A and B are shown apart, each in its own frame.
Chain A
Amino acid sequence: MAAAVGLATTALMVVAILIGSRRLAHFDAALVGYTFATLFATFGISYRFTIWLQRPPTAMYWKRGWQVFLRPDSLGRNLVQWLKRLGAIFFANSFIWRRGISRGAAHWLVMWGCILASAITFPLVFGWIHFEFTDATFQSYTAVMFGFPVFSFGIHSIPGYLIFHGLVWASFLVIAGVMIAMRRRMVGHDARALQRFGEDFLPLILLYAVSVTGLMLVVSYKWMNGYAYDFLAITHAVTVIGTLLWMPFGKLFHIFQRPAQLGVLFYKDAGRRGEQARCVVCSQEYASLMHIEDLIEVERQLGYRYDFPEGSVDHYQRVCPRCRRLTVAAVQTQLWASAAVPAQPEISAPPSHS
């Protein structure tokens, strides 16, 4: 199933490249390495995404998220909410800024640097966009997307300067973000205790390598008469292709997982509007009934057996988290009482005295 989805997505991408580049008429053969790396990444990401969606909890909330979002009675409201949340959560990273200024700044800079670079690089690599001289004066370019002229700009104009240095601006953003993140990972005790090289440092190193080698290409042709340009071009290609190949397997996969957060928010909205679950012990509301029922089903699918075959309570999930904490302590107290010895008869001393 996952392999079939991966192959189908990759095939769709090939078709999109063929159509968008007008049967490869505008495809730059020098960039074929990037294209194949992208196709591999497409297969890997869609393969892993499909596997991920098959996990019982993910499948449940993927299905439920779409169900509650598409409910006819709340579709309009959901669409408005979706736009708001897209802005606050995705574009502004609001929740990450609340976790810390440096954390927010690092993520925001890296994210927008990568988005800008991707928006420039992929259409160019796929031949979806190319530039043609507007007229015989050779003083202006016309951007052609999917074979259609879109807009023109002077070669030496400010828009032209900004457009042709788009990847430079992207590199500056990424490098600044990576530096902030690196510093936090090397100084912050929390990060130092829990981080892993492959999960936390490698993506930063890869993004830094891509950005720096890309900038060095500009330095080479602009200020060094093309010195070592071939070597730098190959080095840059290696870093970019390596990042693309690694993307399905490492931390950068969260780019594709994270949008599920929006679905969860709509699930929570629907839960708040619906019937609430009451704890069988304290009778307090503690979650939406839909969430509890779904969780019971997920736990059963995973093989957990928190059910009680006898008695008035059918499942431990019907007990709120606070009552669970109290229950565990109560049963320990009960063991002391049933042992018919004082609960705390021992006078304890520090270990060094023992």
Chain B
Amino acid sequence: MSVPESLFFFLDPNRCIGCESCVQACSECDTHKGHSMIHLERVNRYESPQTIPVVCMHCDSPTCAEVCPADAIKRTEDGVVQTARKPRCIACSNCVLACPFGVPKMNTDYELMMKCDMCYDRTSEGKRPMCATVCPSQALFFGTHAEIQALRPRSRSLNTFQFGRQTIHTKVQMMVPREAPVMHIDVAAAWHDPQGEDEQDDPMLSAALFELPVLSN
């Protein structure tokens, strides 16, 4: 079994309404039953209700797997990066600290790294992942490119990310505006305000739109 080549996972954090349906559904995924692998982050953009769901992006060249000293993280032939293999994982947390997207979780009780497997028990049969099945705003969407284009005519998807001098290609695609003249998502761009110095003087505006968010737990 493998994930059909025509199906993709599309992520659009902008659309998240913070309902936590994905968190609940994720814990029902059979590959990590009872444990939710979704990070639903709350962003306090000066009292903004914005939340963002974070799932594994399933990198083509997964840093988590490369830095694993136990060689415990494997990637399937169809590009799904799996949770650490239980006999091998030595719970060093290298993967947790190295993932550019901040995805893996260390379950200290089990001494085991766990992460999103893209519901491989479902997606390898052509079904949608649990989170995408229940997401009411379709911030998490699983389907074909034709479907997403029909649903989001002003959007397009990108799966190339830039971290410093490192380029990472992912299986999961992120939605960006069709007009955005970028070929990749430069993560460092979030650390400065492209709108000019004047607007940076307005802390609320800059934080609301462009600054790295102020965090709250």
Contact = CB atoms under 8 A, between A and B. Distances in A.
Interface string B91-120: 111101111111100000111100001001
B52 A326 contact: yes
A264 B71 CA distance: 14
A305 B165 CA distance: 5
B187 interface: yes
Contacts of B176: 332, 335-336
B86 A99 contact: yes
A98 B153 CA distance: 49
A294 to B, nearest CB: 9
Given A194-B117, A261-B111, A308 B187 contact: no
Contacts of B155: 346
Interface residues of A, number: 77
Interface stretch (A3-11, A51-59, A73-81): A51-59
A254 B166 contact: no
Contacts of B147: 351, 354
A333 interface: yes
B82 A194 contact: yes
A291 B97 contact: yes
Contact of B69 (A57, A309, A336): A57
B164 A308 contact: yes
Contact of B15 (A302, A326, A337, A344): A344
A322 B215 contact: yes
Given A98-B109, A254-B88, A298-B67, A322 B14 contact: no
Interface in A266-325: 267-268, 281-282, 286-287, 291-292, 295, 298-299, 302, 304-309, 311, 313, 315-317, 320-325
A87 to B, nearest CB: 15
B183 interface: no
A156 B176 CA distance: 81
A77 B212 CA distance: 43
Contact of A351 (B41, B143, B188, B211): B143
Nearest to A314: B164
B21 interface: no
B212 A333 contact: no
A106 to B, nearest CB: 12
Contact of A326 (B63, B164, B215): B215
Given A336-B177, A339-B179, A321 B154 contact: no
Contact of B98 (A55, A299, A309, A343): A299
A6 B52 CA distance: 51
Nearest to B108: A95
Interface of B: 12-15, 30-33, 39, 41, 43, 50, 52, 54, 63, 66-71, 82-83, 85-88, 90-94, 96-103, 109-112, 117, 120-121, 124, 138, 143, 147, 150-155, 161, 163-166, 174-180, 182, 185-191, 194, 209-213, 215
Given A334-B194, A336-B14, 17 more contacts: A57-B68, A98-B109, A194-B31, A258-B87, A261-B90, A286-B97, A328-B54, A329-B52, A330-B43, A330-B211, A331-B189, A332-B185, A333-B210, A334-B209, A341-B179, A346-B151, A351-B147
Interface of A: 52, 55, 57-58, 60-62, 95, 98-99, 188-190, 192-194, 199, 251, 254, 257-258, 260-261, 264, 267-268, 281-282, 286-287, 291-292, 295, 298-299, 302, 304-309, 311, 313, 315-317, 320-341, 343-346, 348-349, 351, 354
20 contacts: A193-B124, A194-B83, A260-B70, A261-B91, A268-B92, A298-B67, A302-B66, A316-B166, A325-B102, A330-B190, A330-B212, A331-B190, A333-B50, A333-B210, A337-B210, A339-B180, A341-B177, A343-B14, A348-B138, A348-B152
